Amino acid sequence: MNFIRNYSVKLGVISSLPIGYYFYQENLQNSRIKKYSYQEISQHNSSKKGIWVTHKNKVYDITNFIESHPGGIDKIMLAAGNPLEPYWNYYKQPQKKEVYDILDSMEIGVIEDYNPDKFKNLKDEYIQEPIRSPELKFHSAKPCNAETPIDEIHKNPITPNDLWYIRNHNPVPIIKPEDYELDFFINTKFINKFTLEDLKKMKSKKVITTIQCGGNRRGEFDKTSGTQWGIGAISTAEWEGIPLCNLLENYNAKYIHFEGYDGVKSSIPFKKGRNCFGDVLVAYKMNGVELPRDHGYPVRIIVPGYVGIKNIKWLKKITLSNEEVDGPWQRGMAYKILPGSIRCLEDVSKIDLDKIDTIEELPIQSCITHIEEIQENINNKNFRIHGYTYSSKPMIFPRVDVSIDGGKTWKIAGVNPHFEDLLKFKWGWALWSVDVKIDDTPCDIICMASDKGTVQPSDIKDIWNIRGLANNSVHKKLLEKV
Ligand SMILES: Nc1nc2c(c(=O)[nH]1)N[C@H]1C(S)=C(S)[C@@H](COP(=O)(O)O)O[C@H]1N2
Ligand SMILES: [Mo]
């Protein structure tokens, strides 16, 4: 039909051939008759169901066109099932006539419940998102929330940058290195500013840290709000940057606030940043290269041992203050572990959130990441169980015990052979493995970390909290039939 349409447009307009013109008219009239609702259009967002977009009141089926879209498939797929206005508005300049001509040939109807004001001034702020590895486990694209692939963790004590988990609250800011500026304030008073060049000239340090999102393993809780993370909202890198303590030598305060270019803010106690053993970094490199955009380009703060949200990306401003920073990530319920008796928002409204501290360190953790079938070895073992364990405390690597009989007997895990230099991982996780003999499948495998009296809780119900934070209950993984 498209072919006929294109052809007949030419014929109809240029040579006025009666037959071509007839087809053109008929096609136009048919397509005008078809009406689709916004709801119906939004469902056409995959090659399976067809990819539709709208412009003004018209609906277009662009399924066969996307492969050849000059801007790339990923860009046009952002608009799948949606109006084009927010994307075109983003680029500001008007579209060329050819673009309308191409679209015209794909018109399939009009919007039934068309509202001209709905998208007129809307901009899709996500159009410039970075390209991401398809190996990540995506929970959402706008904003991007994605886990590191857990099957790979045992091979990678340092998570490769493209496999790092991503936790964004907003579109990734676009920051040109030459425009970058980090401001330093005491309360509301401006003290100093640093360009990227200034920062790179200062004495730097490298620190390996694991960052774990406060919501890691939220998905295992019953009914909580927020991204339903599995065990992959955790990753490890070597960061390079300026020790924050070097910038704070002459100052004193109670708190240090960090604010990102996307408006996300959090604060930490002054003593964590001022103490050079706290290893807080104003970081501009991740695993030897400049920070990827998703992870804070060009500069982020790294707060070893503290929950993910403290590690503010796209760092815009550091403020010293005697008060905690305001905003939901510090003072709201987002990172406060409320008692299990608080079951709904109405319960939350009855308590004084100011009296409850926000998370800094997270409790000891361990998870099973991979079950590997191995050649029966001399000890008669046929499976190797892999996992990670993480303590927020420096130089602490919890002991991990593994059970394959529902917790009756336990076997202590050893250091994963890929994981050679534990000492470099002062603020990092430790990867462990243990060989076991399993004859009957399916089999539940359990791991439990402990450190001198602190153990992972065995019942997840005991640590339930409305925001689903800090889940460190003993981890189970099922070995299915082999
Ligand atoms: N500016 C800014 N910083 C941020 C966030 C954000 O959305 N904006 N997310 C925080 C959260 S909740 C986590 S868990 C970590 C995730 O860091 P990553 O995306 O590099 O893994 O960044 C933190 N820093
Ligand atoms: Mo997070």
The 10s digit of each residue's pLDDT in 360-408 is: 999 999 999 999 999 887 788 999 999 999 999 999 999 999 999 999 9
Cα 215 to ligand 2 centroid, rounded to whole Å: 6
pLDDT digits (tens, 9 = 90+) for 94-119: 677 777 888 888 899 999 889 888 87
Cα 458 to ligand 2 centroid, rounded to whole Å: 24
Q: Is 317 in the pocket of ligand 1 (CB under 6 A)?
A: no
pLDDT of residue 3: 38
Look at ligand 1, atom 18, and give the residue with the nearest C-alpha: 166
When pLDDT is averaged across residues 409-425 and rounded to a whole number, the result is: 85
pLDDT surpassing 50 at residue 423: yes
Q: Is 398 in the pocket of ligand 1 (CB under 6 A)?
A: no
Q: Is 132 in the pocket of ligand 1 (CB under 6 A)?
A: no
Q: Is 213 in the pocket of ligand 1 (CB under 6 A)?
A: yes
C-beta separation of 255 from 303 below 8 A: no
When pLDDT is averaged across residues 142-171 and rounded to a whole number, the result is: 95
Relative to beta strand 166-167, strand 181-186 is: unpaired
DSSP-derived letter for residue 33 is H
pLDDT of residue 6: 38
Top pLDDT among 327 and 156 is at: 156
Lowest mean pLDDT among 41-45, 190-194, 244-248, 427-431: 41-45
Q: Is 313 in the pocket of ligand 1 (CB under 6 A)?
A: yes
pLDDT surpassing 70 at residue 18: no
- What's the rounded Cα separation, in Å, for the pair 127 and 72? 12
Top pLDDT among 434 and 48 is at: 434
pLDDT of residue 329: 84
pLDDT band with cut points at 50, 70 and 90 for residue 75:
low
Rounded to the nearest integer, the mean pLDDT of the chain is: 88
Q: Is 310 in the pocket of ligand 1 (CB under 6 A)?
A: no
Cα 168 to ligand 1 centroid, rounded to whole Å: 6
Residue 12 class from Cβ within 10 Å (0-12 exposed, 13-18 middle, 19+ buried)? buried
The DSSP-derived string for 105-151 is TTEEEEETT--TTSSTT---TTTTPPP--TTSEEEETTTTEEEPPGG
Share of the chain above pLDDT 90, in %: 63
pLDDT of residue 90: 67
pLDDT surpassing 90 at residue 351: no
Q: Is 302 in the pocket of ligand 1 (CB under 6 A)?
A: no
- What's the rounded Cα separation, in Å, for the pair 155 and 436? 19
Residue 109 class from Cβ within 10 Å (0-12 exposed, 13-18 middle, 19+ buried)? buried
Residues with Cβ–ion distance below 5 A, ligand 2: 167, 213, 308-309
pLDDT surpassing 60 at residue 288: yes
pLDDT band with cut points at 50, 70 and 90 for residue 84:
confident
pLDDT of residue 2: 41
The token duo for 339 is 């008692």
pLDDT surpassing 80 at residue 5: no
Look at ligand 1, atom 12, and give the residue with the nearest C-alpha: 309
What's the predicted TM-score (pTM) here?
0.80
Q: Which ligand is nearest to the CA of 328?
A: 1
Residue with tokens 């960061």: 239
Other C-beta atoms lying within 10 Å of the C-beta of residue 42: 15
- Using only C-alpha atoms, the chain has a radius of gyration, in whole angstroms, of 27
Q: Which atom of ligand 1 is nearest to the CA of 262?
A: 1
Name which of 139, 134, 129, 136 is nearest 159 in CA terms: 136
- Distances in Å between the Cα of 402 and the Cα atoms of 260, 306, 367, 422, 449 are 41, 27, 10, 20, 9
pLDDT surpassing 60 at residue 286: yes
Top pLDDT among 49 and 19 is at: 49
pLDDT of residue 4: 37
Name which of 285, 286, 292 is nearest 236 in CA terms: 286
pLDDT band with cut points at 50, 70 and 90 for residue 12:
very low
Cα 382 to ligand 2 centroid, rounded to whole Å: 37
Q: Is 469 in the pocket of ligand 1 (CB under 6 A)?
A: no
Cα 213 to ligand 2 centroid, rounded to whole Å: 4
pLDDT of residue 131: 93
pLDDT surpassing 50 at residue 306: yes
pLDDT band with cut points at 50, 70 and 90 for residue 27:
low
pLDDT band with cut points at 50, 70 and 90 for residue 332:
confident
Which amino acid appears at position 391 of this protein? S
pLDDT digits (tens, 9 = 90+) for 189-242: 999 999 999 999 999 999 999 999 999 999 999 988 889 999 999 999 999 999
Classify each residue of 83-103 as buried b or exposed e, where b means 16 or more C-beta atoms within 10 Å of its C-beta.
bbbbbbbeeeeeeeeeeeebb
Cα 300 to ligand 1 centroid, rounded to whole Å: 9
pLDDT of residue 349: 85
pLDDT surpassing 60 at residue 19: no
Name which of 358, 368, 389 is nearest 220 in CA terms: 368
pLDDT of residue 23: 47
